Protein backbone atom coordinates (compact mmCIF):
# COMPACT_ATOMS: atom_id res chain seq x y z
CA UNK A 1 0.00 0.00 0.00
CA UNK A 2 2.89 2.37 0.61
CA UNK A 3 3.82 2.26 -3.09
CA UNK A 4 0.24 3.18 -4.07
CA UNK A 5 0.23 6.09 -1.61
CA UNK A 6 3.50 7.39 -3.06
CA UNK A 7 2.25 7.04 -6.63
CA UNK A 8 -0.93 8.99 -5.97
CA UNK A 9 0.70 12.47 -5.77
CA UNK A 10 2.62 11.74 -8.97
CA UNK A 11 -0.58 10.73 -10.75
CA UNK A 12 -2.38 13.82 -9.49
CA UNK A 13 0.46 16.02 -10.78
CA UNK A 14 0.40 14.27 -14.16
CA UNK A 15 -3.35 14.80 -14.32
CA UNK A 16 -2.94 18.52 -13.57
CA UNK A 17 -0.23 18.83 -16.22
CA UNK A 18 -2.40 17.04 -18.78
CA UNK A 19 -5.42 19.20 -17.92
CA UNK A 20 -3.34 22.36 -18.36
CA UNK A 21 -2.04 21.14 -21.73
CA UNK A 22 -5.58 20.34 -22.87
CA UNK A 23 -6.80 23.81 -21.86
CA UNK A 24 -3.91 25.47 -23.68
CA UNK A 25 -4.62 23.40 -26.77
CA UNK A 26 -8.30 24.29 -26.61
CA UNK A 27 -7.43 28.01 -26.38
CA UNK A 28 -5.21 27.70 -29.46
CA UNK A 29 -7.96 25.95 -31.40
CA UNK A 30 -10.50 28.59 -30.37
CA UNK A 31 -8.10 31.35 -31.42
CA UNK A 32 -7.58 29.66 -34.77
CA UNK A 33 -11.34 29.35 -35.27
CA UNK A 34 -11.83 33.04 -34.49
CA UNK A 35 -9.19 33.94 -37.08
CA UNK A 36 -10.79 31.63 -39.63
CA UNK A 37 -14.24 33.13 -38.97
CA UNK A 38 -12.86 36.64 -39.48
CA UNK A 39 -11.21 35.65 -42.77
CA UNK A 40 -14.37 33.96 -43.97
CA UNK A 41 -16.43 36.99 -42.95
CA UNK A 42 -14.10 39.32 -44.85
CA UNK A 43 -14.31 37.10 -47.94
CA UNK A 44 -18.07 36.87 -47.65
CA UNK A 45 -18.34 40.65 -47.36
CA UNK A 46 -16.19 41.09 -50.47
CA UNK A 47 -18.61 38.87 -52.41
CA UNK A 48 -21.64 40.69 -51.00
CA UNK A 49 -20.10 44.06 -51.91
CA UNK A 50 -19.62 42.85 -55.48
CA UNK A 51 -23.22 41.65 -55.68
CA UNK A 52 -24.42 44.97 -54.25
CA UNK A 53 -22.51 46.86 -56.97
CA UNK A 54 -24.31 44.85 -59.64
CA UNK A 55 -27.67 45.78 -58.11
CA UNK A 56 -27.12 49.39 -59.13
CA UNK A 57 -27.80 52.59 -57.20
CA UNK A 58 -31.53 51.90 -56.76
CA UNK A 59 -31.32 48.15 -56.31
CA UNK A 60 -31.67 46.21 -53.08
CA UNK A 61 -28.57 45.80 -50.92
CA UNK A 62 -27.60 42.52 -49.35
CA UNK A 63 -26.57 42.83 -45.70
CA UNK A 64 -22.89 42.57 -44.86
CA UNK A 65 -21.86 40.09 -42.18
CA UNK A 66 -20.13 40.58 -38.86
CA UNK A 67 -16.62 39.24 -39.54
CA UNK A 68 -16.39 37.86 -35.99
CA UNK A 69 -19.56 35.80 -36.14
CA UNK A 70 -20.50 35.44 -39.80
CA UNK A 71 -24.02 36.64 -38.96
CA UNK A 72 -25.70 39.36 -41.04
CA UNK A 73 -25.34 42.80 -39.47
CA UNK A 74 -28.64 43.65 -37.81
CA UNK A 75 -30.69 46.49 -39.26
CA UNK A 76 -28.48 46.79 -42.32
CA UNK A 77 -29.60 49.32 -44.90
CA UNK A 78 -31.63 47.66 -47.65
CA UNK A 79 -30.94 50.30 -50.32
CA UNK A 80 -28.70 53.31 -50.90
CA UNK A 81 -31.44 55.69 -49.76
CA UNK A 82 -31.44 53.98 -46.34
CA UNK A 83 -27.69 54.54 -46.05
CA UNK A 84 -28.20 58.28 -46.58
CA UNK A 85 -30.90 58.22 -43.87
CA UNK A 86 -28.70 56.49 -41.25
CA UNK A 87 -28.18 58.29 -37.97
CA UNK A 88 -24.62 58.82 -36.80
CA UNK A 89 -25.18 56.17 -34.14
CA UNK A 90 -26.41 53.54 -36.61
CA UNK A 91 -23.63 54.29 -39.09
CA UNK A 92 -21.07 54.08 -36.28
CA UNK A 93 -22.50 50.75 -35.09
CA UNK A 94 -22.30 49.24 -38.58
CA UNK A 95 -18.77 50.52 -39.17
CA UNK A 96 -17.51 49.34 -35.79
CA UNK A 97 -19.04 45.91 -36.42
CA UNK A 98 -16.97 45.83 -39.61
CA UNK A 99 -13.83 46.80 -37.70
CA UNK A 100 -13.57 50.41 -38.86
CA UNK A 101 -11.90 52.77 -36.39
CA UNK A 102 -13.89 55.97 -36.00
CA UNK A 103 -12.53 59.12 -34.40
CA UNK A 104 -14.61 62.29 -34.29
CA UNK A 105 -16.19 61.90 -37.71
CA UNK A 106 -19.23 63.84 -38.80
CA UNK A 107 -22.47 62.21 -39.91
CA UNK A 108 -21.79 62.73 -43.62
CA UNK A 109 -18.39 61.02 -43.37
CA UNK A 110 -19.98 58.11 -41.50
CA UNK A 111 -22.64 57.66 -44.17
CA UNK A 112 -20.05 57.75 -46.98
CA UNK A 113 -17.96 55.19 -45.11
CA UNK A 114 -20.99 52.88 -44.81
CA UNK A 115 -21.70 53.37 -48.51
CA UNK A 116 -18.11 52.44 -49.32
CA UNK A 117 -18.45 49.26 -47.27
CA UNK A 118 -21.71 48.20 -48.93
CA UNK A 119 -20.75 49.18 -52.46
Would you list the domain boundaries of the chain?
2-118
Higher pLDDT, 36 or 68: 68
Cα separation, 86 vs 109, in Å, equals 11
pLDDT at 8 over 80: no
Residue 34 confidence (pLDDT) = 67
pLDDT at 29 over 60: yes
The DSSP bridge partners found for residue 72 are 65
- DSSP SS3 for 36: helix
Residue 47 confidence (pLDDT) = 93
Find the length of the chain: 119
Q: What is the pLDDT of residues 75-101, one digit of tens each?
A: 999 999 999 999 999 999 999 999 999
Cα separation, 30 vs 83, in Å, equals 35
The DSSP bridge partners found for residue 65 are 72
Question: pTM above the 0.75 mark?
Answer: no
Amino acid sequence: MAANEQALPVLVQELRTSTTAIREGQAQVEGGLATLKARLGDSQNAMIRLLNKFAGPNGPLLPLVDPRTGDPIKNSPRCAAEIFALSAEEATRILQTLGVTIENQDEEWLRRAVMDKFL
